Every structure is written in structure tokens, then in C-alpha cells.
Amino acid sequence: MKIKYIIAISALAFSLSSCESKLALTPEQDLTEETIFSNPSTAKSAVLGVYSTAQTLEFYGSMPQIIEEYMGDNVEFVGSFPTLQELRDFTTVSTNGNVSGIWQVHYQVITRANKVIANIASVTGLSDAEKNQFVGEAKFLRALAYLQLVNMYAQPFQVTTGTNLGVPLIVDDFTGTISYPARATVNQVHDQIKKDLTEAAAALPASYATGVDTRGRATKGAANALLSRLYLYREEWANAITAARAAITGPYTLATDYTFYDKNTAEDVFTIQNSPTDNGRTGSGGWASYYSPAPLGGRGDAPFSANLIAAYEAEAGDKRYLLKRTGTAADAVSRAFTSKFPDAVNNSDNSPVIRITEVYLNLAEALAQSNALPNAEAITILNNLRNRAGLAPKLVFATKQALIDAILLERRKELAFEGFRRMDLLRYKQNLRSGNPLAAYGGQKTILPIPQRELDNNTSLQPNPGF
Amino acid sequence: MKRKLLAFLLFGLFAVTSAIAQNKTITGRVVGADDGLPLPGVSVRVKGGTAGTTTGAEGNYSLNVPSTASVLTFTYIGYVSQEISIGSRSRVDVRLVTDAKLLSEVVVVGYGAQSRALSTQSTSSVSAESFKNVPIISPQQILQGQAAGVNMVNSSGVLGSASQITIRGGSSLTAGGQPLYVIDGVPLNTGNYTQGQGGGSGLNPLLNINANDIESMTVLKDASAAAIYGSRGSNGVILIKTKSGANNSATKINVDYFNGTSEPTDILKYMNADQWRTFRRDFLQANNTAVPAYPTTSFDWTDAVLRTGKMNNFNASASGGNDKTRFYLGGTFADESGYTIGNDLERLSGRFNFNHNISEKVRVGLNYNLARVNSDRIGAENSTYAPLTSSYLQLPYVMPYDANGNFRNTGFIQNVIGLEATGFNKLNSTRNTGNAYAEVDIISGLTFKTDWGIDNALFDEKYREVDVFTPGGYGYISRRSDNKWLTSNTLNYNKIIGQNHSVSGLLGYSFETSRLTNGLFEGQGFASDALPNIGSASTPLTASETGAEWALESQFARLGYSYADKYLFEGTVRRDGSSRFGANKKYGIFYAASAGWILSNESFFNKDNKIAQFLKFTGSYGISGNDQIGYFDYLGTFGAGAAYSDASASTPARVANPNLGWEETEQLDIGLTARLFNAVDLQLNYYNKNTKGLLASVPYPFTTGFASATQNIGEMRNRGFEVTLGTQNVKSENFSWTTNFNIGFNKNTVLSLPENKDPEGRNFISGSTAQRAIVGESRNSFYLIRYKGINPATGDAEWLKKDGTPTTTPVAADRVLVGHADPDFVGGFTNTFRYKDFDLSAFFNFAYGNKVLIDGLRFTENVATPSFNKSTDLLNYWKTAGDQAFAPRLNSPTRGTFNQLSTSQLQDGSYARLKTVTVGYNLPSSVVSKTKVLRSARIYLLGQNLWTIQNKDFRGPDPEVSANGASNLIMGESFFALPQAKSVTFGINLGL
């Protein structure tokens, strides 16, 4: 009798011997660092991982761009986020969570690009052409991140011709040893961007096998176009002209109307591809979420400013002013919103980074700036855009400055809501908002604070004054 | 290692079976006479002989006696000794009668049970009597204010909300800090199984554990108690024992029913539409801005989302047994609706506990619980889709309906009335928890037990939003399951050698593993609101499945020795191997040693003195650990599953750390247990806990691309003192009055942290924007700009600079330490009166010295924003020089910064609350006996949270908040928590 139980229990006890190996478990959703750069398909997924990071709300998922628009005078921020309101009011402090998030995601794009640049050479099975292209793509995205970062966290080039502090430059792969970098100057950051874009332009193809990739991945044209933007911001007009002309030779044409948004047409030089299932939306933040009225599914946070409305209404018949929809804003008042990003439900709209229109505007501005008299080519470009907008041509400009002013006005009306306004004001030493002394050119809070979290963590970092 | 242990176990088994001689073996079970509950550690001896044994956790014993033996003696501290003649029996069951109440208490300990009087472990236990009939949704609520040194905070008044429990100050920073829950020997899974809907955590993972089936909850506090749980013991262990039947007793049936209503304890202030429009107009005019034509409508949103909560609870149980079998059967149906719209919870659960003696030496048993909880969820805290949050923020002129009477989409601050009236937000959860065991007495005093358990939890959520709120409609289903199995196999040995040497030993092996699966499916674009399922959506937004598994393999041992019930010693050791740690740190060894001296059992101690009847000193020291980190935190990984342009993408997720290991807490405990004046039971404990190798999420500069990495770095200390007092103030035939009081003081100090310095040069780790762990200070220190008030002369809001001078433009560098979120002490105070057939009980719980941050005030106390409603406090704004105003001058430069994060939102969180008060009437036994059916009958009225004492300037609905649920680094913060419910229930208990 007794033996029976003992045998039964012994059998149970023996059944445990299979347990030992159970402590050796592996993750199911992750790959280890060693495997990721061991074959072409996972290595390619790491390259696309940099683009995927670039989709994020805090990079090109709209938050930095919307901040640029409402710190400038295109957008009236009426939303309820205190951290975004502080930026609107030029009263923020260094603990602002959005400021920290934007910094973090930009460095994610940068370090993920660094990882690709450092490791892609060792991947067996990739051709040299593929390796060059992947490195070029990573350099392009790194340059884009540094340009946006330095625009936000440092006073513009114009304040001290770029000798002021920019942001830390990280170009090497992080492999576990923490470094505590100090801030490079704006000029040093710009030099790195120049270098990356020049190398990327040399390495990248003019186009890809599919139209979507030609618009949605980095190309020779995109690198040159971004270079023209950098030179414009640095007032290096001749270089800006060269880079813009190089970009224009790519597979791009000015659209004939304004239906090109989210369509991957020849208007797009580089556009981050979003879809309902894959986009930068975070919580209730996203291009269309901020820019759409409530009944259409948006937050209703970022309608047209009165100042922008006045700019459009100053010249009747502007088709770009029709790119709007009216509805209840976050303050429960009916307001006008842009219709450039219509899908507030899923935030599937692509993020426009570089359009050929911008490149033409860069070219026109640089031409106008670098000629003592109103430049004919610049005037032609200006009128091409005015014609598309349904406005009568302007052929005669009394002075160089009159032409520049006209180009800048056109630039504002053309690129409104896409994230250009703050820099376009600052580089011409304009105040960001009228009537608010805190928003004056050179004001301490016209730029973002270096996040307190980073200052705490890295004693080599110097804070921006005033926060 | 394991094979060796198995071989040892088996060798032991066979060696001893062959050794069993022709001597007679007596087996039996010792229980308490009054409650039929098992008594562990009872000395069983042959009268006149020297050898003997002690009973095990379930009161069972087996003793090899010479054939000449005729009488057995049973002695047990706190009980009257008994002598029983054996006769021809081979089974002797005994019921012992108590002679002193506290001393007779039995406490459940890890893998066993002990007499409180003889235990050297530091534990607190709460028995069913303390929470009987109290409307409780999750078992953690039982512990609030009932156990010294346990700080239990309900995260909010949402039905089934998560709770935060810290035992002796908590031992972790960024690793999980919640205690291990063990129900009848099965450690429960306590992950986050529900979607957070505005708060920092989901619902309570123990939602499905029914309080009605719980007989007692025991909190293991010191190292000697917790070390047997090794790598999971350092944040404390809570042992839950469920009810069981008694041998040889008639089947008892208990039927309980209660019904009640609830309302919020308090709500925040808010403006009505006229107040808002007037304030806004005055504000705009003061700033020379045109006043828009605001709608003239008005609506009271808060009033509309509040309702009278209702609860209904029906519970029936049957228990009993014969000489071989004992059983308990219990079932509960409960139905509760919260005091805000959209929040309902329904529970159906059943339990079957069964024990059977197959033979004199072989016993088997089963504990099985099946529960289903269905809930209508609501958002809370930082969600503008949450009824109460949204109602505070919604502009009071916004109407929920359009001109045609249809619901309107009100945007970011959504129309919660419409949301709750349409669509759905459901949780359906089921849980199977149970274990089965077989136990064999091998030789006298030696028992082998094999125990197999499961804990399968399934949480299904389903959410749907109709077209008006998301064009095209939106929905998701989330399905999380956590399925565990475990086995533990133990050898128990109990022997009394000579007259006075009592030895008990435990040797065990266990293996435990659990697999977590998450599924999320999200879709948008429905042809009609009448289509509830995601399959009908035109755009599938998310189709995600993730899974992960962990495993823990352990060997453990405990050795107890006592001499003449005077000198007590115990040693414990456990070796754990875990899948969660790096190759270099896979295994950890934890241990504890303790000793006790029962002074009152010394021969020189006069037991008849009037002052002290029992005195015991205990001391323990040991090390336990914490393994509550992610599944694979030691591996450097790339996360797959991202995408770009329809192709898969991978991004770096983590830096490798092969040295990632256990968090270790060493703890010293010194205790005194006493019974004084024949009426006072006193327990005092001092402890000093040092946690080393803290699992800390070490912040990295973002310029590395990583936010942080988990490392063993840092050290923290908790020091404290606990008092538990039970007094029998009056005891007579018609009237009795008892008091129970407990208080636990704790001081938490962070001793070292990774390099990350604040301006004062102290390393810190941030929990939230407001709260951080700072070296030399509490892990829950608030670090904020100090708000000074409105300057009566200028009307500007003023804060203090770091040097203490006033400023209207404070900066981050002006932040200073302004208090901490962990209380200086917490406790509870219960008075129970009985007069003839009436009883009255009042239970207060309290917390003192902690600060709470009501972050939502940053929103409701906004002066300048037209985006949401405001507190009526703002109507008291500065108008003329000399005004002692709440809010600044309307055109003050500080009008936009008045509500910025500062000590303005930080409040004194001390409170004392009348947690429950009960008045009951028992039908006299003379009446009951006449019914021939009833055994007992009682009716009662119970009030919960009826009265709260708090700081008179407290500007929040409830000082008891924890928006982040069970977070270590963020305590006492809330956005707009639902306050605790104030409820009154009427109930009836019948015994058949």
C-alpha cells in the first residue's frame, strides 16, 4: 500500500528533471545586437529603424513643426497642454517635458543613424552599393536631425554668426561607454551637417525602384535640397544657389495645384511616409490631430492665427487660403484650420520635409540676396508660384529688398503649417510675435531650453540662459 | 545541483520506509476547540517518555510510540494541556481549549504555520473578522490600517483601482516594489493586465481574489519571515489563507447579503457658466483684448457625471467534514455601480477547498478558485475621456447635445456623457487559481509533501467609440493572459528529543514558470455604430501579439530549534535561479537567522504577577531579494516590430548588462511580544533595513540614444518602529469593549545613487517632474519651486528664489526640497463594543507627515486659458492694493504662470478617516433556536469613509491618492483622482 504512494510521488519528483533548461529563456520580440548586423535583411531593418524613429511625434510627427509655427505667427495655439502653452507664451522653464522629449527623440535619430554608419560595413551579404546607400541614408537623416535640433535649441546663426553654442555633436556609435559631451558651436554643428549632406549627396541614388521610395527615402536630390536650406539659414547665398540647382535637376516638378499633399508626387523631394497603422501619432498628438477641429476628430489646438489670415486676405483670391476647414477649436470657439493634413482620425498623412517648392523658394531668395538689383530668375520663380496660387504676376520690383520681401511673403503663404515660420522670422531678425517683448529677436525664450534632465546628467552641458 | 537534491529526497524516502519498525505509529490532527482551525507546533509526547514530535502546518502529526505507551500528552502555549489515552487506536485527533487569547494565535508563515507565541518571525496578520461584510473589491484593501508597518493606498475611487502597498517603507526604486502575494502556497501573478486609461497603471491585478473566501492575511515583514521566499521577499510577502472546513462537524451554511449606496467623499470646485463668462470677460478686458461672443448656454457637467452608486453582494458558503474529509464551498455574486456614470463591476466567483485522508498516513487536498469579474470601465486621472476629469475641465457653456438632441463631439475634452451613453469600455476577466497536494507521513515526524499549483489570469478588454466621437468609429480589443504553473516539494521533520529539545526541519525544492501574452487589435472605420467588433472595421490600425516567459528554480531549507519553550532559534536559506538575470548572476542565495527568548517561561519568572503574563524578546537578521525587473533586462537588444513605408524596421532597445543581478535587502529586526495586566497584548518591533545593489534605472544622457539602463547601483535604508496593541477594556456578560491599535513609523533614506547630481551636489533619480529620490533624503522627495502667494501690494503671484527672496519669474534652479510623499507614520485604530445582542465597531485609519501633489489644480486654477473650466477659487483675484487674494491681478505678468508647477499644488496629505463603522444586532440565541432552521442571525448597518479629518486648507477631493498605482518613485500624486466612495450598506448574515 505504502509503496504505491511512494512510487507515485517519486514519479512526480522525477518529472521535474526537465526543468533545468527552463531558466535559459530568450526574448520573443527582440533581436540581440549581435544578430541585427549579421545579415542583410535585419541590417536593412535597422536602416529603416532610423526612418521609423524619424516618424515620431517629437521629430517629424509634427510637434517640433507645430511649435515652430505657433512660436512664429502663423498659428494660434489654443490647446490645453500647459507645456505647449508655456512655449507659446515664451515663459517655459528647463523642466518642460515636451522640450525634453524633442531633444531625446532627435538624439535617438542621430544615434541610430550612428549605429548604422558604424556597423553596416561588417554586414556580410550586402553589396558595396547597398552599403554606400545605407550609410548615405543614415547621414542624411542625421543631418536633418542636427539641423532641426540646432534651430530649436540654439540662437540662430545671425545672432553671433554661428559662434554661439549649438548642441552636442555625437557622430560615433554608442557601445556602452557613456560620454558627457559639451555643446559644439552652431558653426561646428553646421559644418557636420554640411559634411554629412555632401557625403550623402555623393552616395545616394537620384531615385529608387518605386515611386514611394523615391519620395520617402533619402536621395541625392533630398541631400542637396537640405543643403540649400542650411546655406540659406547661414546666408551663404552662392552655396545655397549651387545646392538648390543641384537638387532641381532631380525627378521633381512644381505641382500645378495643391492636391499633392500626401500623394508622393514629383512635388515631393523628401516626405516621411505615414499610414494609418504606422505614423508618428502619440496619444492624441499628430499633424492632423493638432491641425483639425474637434468634430473631425482632432484636438482643435492649432488654428490659423489672425496674423496669417490677414496675410492671405491682403491679396484676394489666393488658392492657398482655400486649404482650410472651419470648426470648433479646443477653446470651443469656431476657428479656421489648415486642410493640408486632413486625416485626424488616423493621422495617416505624410510628413512633408522637403518640397521642390521650398527648393525654388530657397533659390529665389538666394538669387535675390546675391544680386544688387532685382533678379529676373527670382522674379520668374516667384511668379510661377503666384500663378499657381491664382494670383496676378508681380513683375516690377523697385529694389532688391522689395523682391526679397515678396519672396518671403510667398514663402510664408506657401509653407505655412509645415514648420518653417519661426526660422524664417529669426534669420531676418524679426520678432516672433508682435506685442510680446519676450518674443523679440534674440530673446532668451525664443529658443528652447537645454532640458534640465540633460543638464543634471551631463555637467559638461551649458544651459541656455534665462530658463 | 537539483539532481543531487532529488536524489537526496528520494534516498531519504526509501531509507526511512525500510526503517519503519514494528513499533506502533499514531497519527492524528490537533485543532482549536472553538474554531476547529489547525494548530501547528503542538508538542505531542508519550506520557512518561521523553521522545515526541510537533504538529505540522495543518495540525497533523505522526509519532512512533512503543507498544507499551498508553497515554499521549498534548501541550501548546496558550492552550490547556490534554492527556489522552491511546487505547487500541492508531489515530488520535484532539481539540485543544485556549487559556489566553493572543498567545493562542496561529500565524501562517512561508511553507507552514506557527504559534505566534513561539515564532521568532516578525509578522502581522488580519483575520476574516476584521473585514467581514466590508464592501471590498480587491484583497489589498483588507490590509489598510490593519497591520503595523503596512502602508496601503487606494489609487483612486474607480471600482477595482490598483493599490499601492509598501511594507516597512519599501525596498526598491525602479524595480517593482509590491509585495509577493501567496494564496494557499501559490504565488500570484501581479502584472499590469489592463490598459491604463489616464492613470499611471491599470486596474488591480488581484481583482478576482474574493475577500469572502479569505480566512486570514499574514504580512511577512522581517528577514526571518521573508527569506524563505528568497529573491522575492524583500518587499514583504503577503500570505493569504482561504477558508476550510473542520473535521467531524455538522455542515454549516452561511448566507450573507448586503445592499448599499455610495457617493464621492468630496469633489473639486468649479465655475458655472455665468461665473466663467464673467471671469473671462473681466480677464480679457483687463488685458485690453476683445471679448468674443461666448455662447450663452450653460451646463453642469460634474453634476451630470455623478450619480448615487449602488452595491449588492450575495455570498453563501458551506463547510464541514467527517473524520476523513473536510471541505469548504463558497460562492459570491456581487454587483456594484460606482458614483460616476459608466463605472460598474460585477463579480461571480466560487471556491472549493477539500482535504481528504486516504489513509492514516496519506493525505490529499485541493484548493480551487474560479472567478469572473466583468467591469464597465471609465478613464481616470489624466484622461479627457474620463467622466470626472472631463467634467472639471469642460467649458461650462458647452452643451452635450446639439439642437436636435443628438450628442455632440466636444473635441479634446470629450463629451463624456455621450461617450458613456454610446459605445462601450468593458473588461471581462477570469481567473483560475488553485493547487492540489499529496502528503505522506514517512516515519514518525517526517512528512513529504508535493504540491502543484496554477494561476491562470485572463483579462479581456473591449472598447468601442461611435462615429460622432471618432469619425467612422473606433475600437480595440486587448487580451492579456498570464498563465503560471509551479510545483513545490518539501520534506518536513518535527521531533522532540529528550524532555526539552524540539527540532523542526524543512527542506524543499520548487520550480515556477509563467507565460504572459498580450494581444491588441485596433480598428477604425465602421459602416455603422451597430457593429461592435473590430472585424467590421475598414482600417485595422494595430494587430499586435507579444509574449514573454520567466522561470524560477529554487531550493530552500529551514531549521528550527527550541529549548523548553524558552529559547527559540530558527535559520532559513534559499537558493534561487532566475531567467531574469544575466549569466554572471543567474543564481542567488538568501538567508536569515533569528532567535527568541520567552522570559516569562523562565522558572524565576512569577507567572502570577499582575503586570506581565507573557514576555518574549526576538531578534532576526537576514537577507532577502527582489527580482521584479523586466524579463530580459540583462540583454542588449534591438526591438523588432517597428515599420517604415510598409517594411519592417528595428530600433535599439537596450544596452547589455551581463552583471545584472538581484537586489538584496539586509534587515535587522528586534521585537518584544507581551501580554500585560491580563488584558493587553502588546507587540513592539524595531527594524533597520538596508537595500544594496538597488535595481536602479540609471539615467543616461539622451545623447547616448538611451534614456536609462537597469543596473545594480545604489543603496537605501528604511528604519522604523512598530506598535501593535490589543486591549480588552471591559469584559462582562452583557458588555464588552476591545480596542486594537497599530502604528508604524518609518524613515526612508536613500544612501547612494548613480552619478546624477542636482545643484546641491546630491545624486538623484527622478520619479516625476515634481518628485525624486535624493541621496540623504527620502526616495519620494518633492523638489519644487516654492509658491509664496499673491503680493497684496502689487497683485502679482510670487514664488521664492533658491535664496528665499521673492520673485515673479522663478526658474528651475529655484527648486528646493519641500517635503516627501511617504508618510512619517501610518496606522489604524479600532474600537469594538458589544452590549447584549448589539455590537458597534468603529475603525479609523490614518497617515501623517506626507505631502500629496494635486496636479489637476494646474488646470483648474488657470487664470489665462480659455480652453477649460476653472476653480471658483479664482474669483477671489486681486483687485486693489491690500487684497489678500487667492489669484493674481488679472493683467499681472504672472497671470499665465500663476498655475505653474510649484508648491501651490502641493498639499498636506495627512489624514485620519473613519474607514468603517458598523452597528449590528444579533438575534438572541433563544429566538434563533426556536426557528429550528437558523443557527445565527445578524443584521447590520455599515458605513465606509463617512468622515475624514484633513488639513483645513486641503484643495483636493481626497488626500488618499496614487495616480501612478503601485509605483515606487511616484507616490501621492494625482491629476484628478476619483476620491474614495462614501458608502452606507445594510446587510444580513444568516447561519444555517
Low-confidence residues of chain A: pLDDT under 50:
1, 18
B647 reaches A (C-beta below 8 A): yes
Mean pLDDT on B646-654:
91
Q: Which three cell numbers stand for residue B407?
A: 450628442
Distance CA A165, CA A461 (A): 10
Q: Which of residues 236-255 of A touch B (CB under 8 A)?
A: none
- Distance in Å, alpha carbon of A429 to nearest chain B alpha carbon: 25
Centroid of chain to Cα B238: 8
Residue B833 to residue A94: CA distance in whole angstroms: 58
B672 exposure class (CB count in 10 Å sphere: 0-12, 13-18, 19+): middle
CA–CA separation, B256 and B233 (whole Å)? 36
What does the block give as the cell for B413?
Answer: 475634452
A297: left (phi over 0), alpha (psi -120 to 50) or beta: left
Give the pLDDT confidence of B929-945 residue by residue, as tens digits: 898 899 999 999 999 99
Per-residue model confidence (pLDDT) at position B13 = 46
Nearest residue of B to residue A290 by CA position? B412
pLDDT at A420: 98
Give tens-digit pLDDT for B383-433.
Answer: 989 999 999 999 999 999 999 999 999 888 999 999 999 999 999 999 999
Residue ranges, comma separated, of all CATH 1.25.40.900 domains in chain A are 243-268+355-432
Beta bridge partner(s), residue B786: B800
Q: Which residues 45-84 on chain A approach chain B with CB closer than 8 angstroms?
A: 45-46, 48-49, 51-53, 55, 78-80, 82
Q: Under an 8 A CB cutoff, do B546 and A28 touch? A: yes
Mean pLDDT score across all residues of chain B: 92
Query: Counting beta carbons within 10 angstroms of the beta carbon of residue A321, is it exposed (0 to 12), middle (13 to 18) or buried (19 or more)?
Result: buried
B149-202 confidence digits (pLDDT tens): 999 998 888 999 888 899 999 889 988 889 999 999 999 998 888 888 877 677
Which of A29, A180, A345 is the closest to B641 by Cβ?
A29
Q: Are B100 and B614 contacting, i.e. CB atoms less than 8 angstroms apart?
A: yes
- Answer whether A320's CB lies under 8 Å from A384's CB: no
In chain A, DSSP finds a helix count (H) and a strand count (E) of 19, 5
Three-class secondary structure assignment of B764-776:
EEECCCCEEEEEC
Which of B14, B578, B635 is closest, CB to CB, to A27? Answer: B635
C-alpha cell at A309: 489670415
Q: Residue B751 — very low, low, confident or very high, per pLDDT cuts 50/70/90? A: very high
The alpha carbon of residue A361 and the mean position of all alpha carbons in its chain are separated, in whole angstroms, by 18
Across chain B, how many H-helices and E-strands are there? Answer: 9, 52
A243-268+355-432 CATH choice from 3.40.1190.20, 1.25.40.900, 1.10.10.350, 1.10.1740.10: 1.25.40.900
Question: B554-601 pLDDT, tens per residue?
Answer: 999 999 999 999 999 999 999 999 999 888 889 999 999 999 999 999
Where does the pLDDT of residue B515 fall: very low under 50, low under 70, confident under 90, or very high at 90 and above? Answer: very high
Q: Which residue has the cell 528533471?
A: A17
Report in angstroms the alpha-carbon separations of B232 from B181, B223, B453, B554, B584.
Answer: 10, 11, 18, 11, 19
The whole-number pLDDT of residue B9 equals 47
User: Helices A186-203 and A128-153: crossing angle, nearest 10°?
Assistant: 150
DSSP, collapsed to helix, strand or coil, labels residue A310 as helix
User: CA-based angle B5:B7:B185, to the nearest 5?
Assistant: 50
Instruction: Give phi and psi for B357, each to the nearest 5.
Output: -95, 110
CB atoms within 10 A of CB B582: 16
Cα torsion through B558, B563, B566, B571, rounded to 10: -20
Is-contact B35 B41, C-beta < 8 A?
A: no
Which burial class, exposed, middle or buried, applies to B187 when counting CB atoms under 10 A from its CB (0-12, 13-18, 19+)? buried
Q: Specify the pLDDT at position A435.
A: 84
Residue B16 pLDDT class (50, 70, 90 cuts): very low
Domain A1-161+184-204: assigned CATH number:
1.25.40.390
Could you tell me the pTM of the whole model? Answer: 0.88
Min Cα–Cα distance to chain A from B963, Å: 18
The reported pLDDT for the residue numbered A5 is 57
How far apart CA A290 and CA A277 sit, in angstroms, is: 19
Domain(s) labelled CATH 1.25.40.390 in chain A stretch across 1-161+184-204
Which positions in chain B touch A345 (Cβ < 8 Å)?
470-472, 474, 524-525
CA distances (Å), B683 to each of B598, B743, B845, in order? 14, 11, 19
Instruction: Answer whether residue B507 shows pLDDT above 60.
Output: yes
Residue pLDDT, tens place only, B427-457: 999 999 999 999 999 988 999 999 999 999 9
pLDDT tens readout for residues B90-118 = 889 999 998 865 577 889 999 999 999 99
Inspect the interface and report whether the beta carbons of A111 and B866 lie closer than 8 Å: no
- CA distances to A258, A265, A381, B204, B646 from A261, rounded to whole Å, are 7, 8, 21, 46, 19
| Complex-level ipTM | 0.94
Give the Å distances, CA to CA, from B248 to A211, B98, B602, B819.
83, 20, 38, 58
Backbone angles phi, psi at B415, to 5 degrees: -70, 90
Indicate if the pLDDT at residue B459 is higher than 80. Answer: yes
Q: What is the CA radius of gyration of chain B?
A: 30
Rounded mean pLDDT, B776-799: 97
Look at strands B237-242 and B325-337 and give their pairing.
Answer: unpaired
B352: Cα separation from own chain's centroid: 24
pLDDT in the model for residue B802: 96
| pLDDT at site B19 | 44
Among residues A230, A152, A240, the alpha carbon closest in space to that of A190 is found at A230
Q: Which helix (H) or strand (E) holds B730?
A: strand B715-731
Q: Which residues of B touch A213 (CB under 8 A)?
A: 645
pLDDT given for residue B184 in this prediction? 95
8 Å CB contact of B553 and A276: no
Contact residues, chain B, for A302 at CB < 8 Å: none
CB A19 within 8 Å of CB A105: no
CA proximity to B428, closest of B381, B481, B485: B481
| Cβ-proximal residues to B357 (8 Å cutoff; 6+ apart), any chain | B323, B324, B325, B363
The DSSP result for B377-429, as a single string, is ----SS-TTSHHHHHHHS-TT--SB-TTSPBPP-TTS--HHHHHHSSEEEEEE
Note whether A193 contacts B: Cβ–Cβ < 8 A.
no
Tell whether the model's pLDDT for residue B6 goes beyond 60: no
pLDDT at B313 over 90: yes
Name which of A19, A44, A454 is nearest B701 (Cβ-Cβ): A454
Residue B100: the pLDDT is: 65
Is pLDDT at B17 greater than 70 in this prediction?
Answer: no
Residue A451: closest CA among A71, A153, A67: A153
Q: Does A181 touch chain B (CB under 8 A)?
A: yes
Mean pLDDT of B948-967: 89
In angstroms, the CA B411 to CA B165 distance is: 37
Tens of pLDDT, residues B221-263: 999 999 999 999 999 999 999 999 988 889 999 999 999 999 9
Cite the DSSP H helix spans in A249-355: 287-291, 306-313
Question: Do B795 and B895 form a contact (C-beta atoms < 8 A)?
Answer: no
Question: What is the interface size between A and B, counted as CB pairs within 8 Å?
Answer: 298
Contact B489 A13 (CB under 8 A): yes
Q: Which residues of chain B does A26 touch, with a Cβ-Cβ cutoff of 8 Å?
A: 632
How far is B699 from A100, CA to CA, in rounded Å?
A: 13
What is the residue whose three cell numbers read 533581436?
A: A31
Q: In the structure grid, which three cell numbers stand for residue B114, read together?
A: 506557527
Predicted local confidence at residue A281, as pLDDT: 87
**What is the rounded distance in angstroms from the CA atom of residue B758 to the CA atom of residue B755?**
10
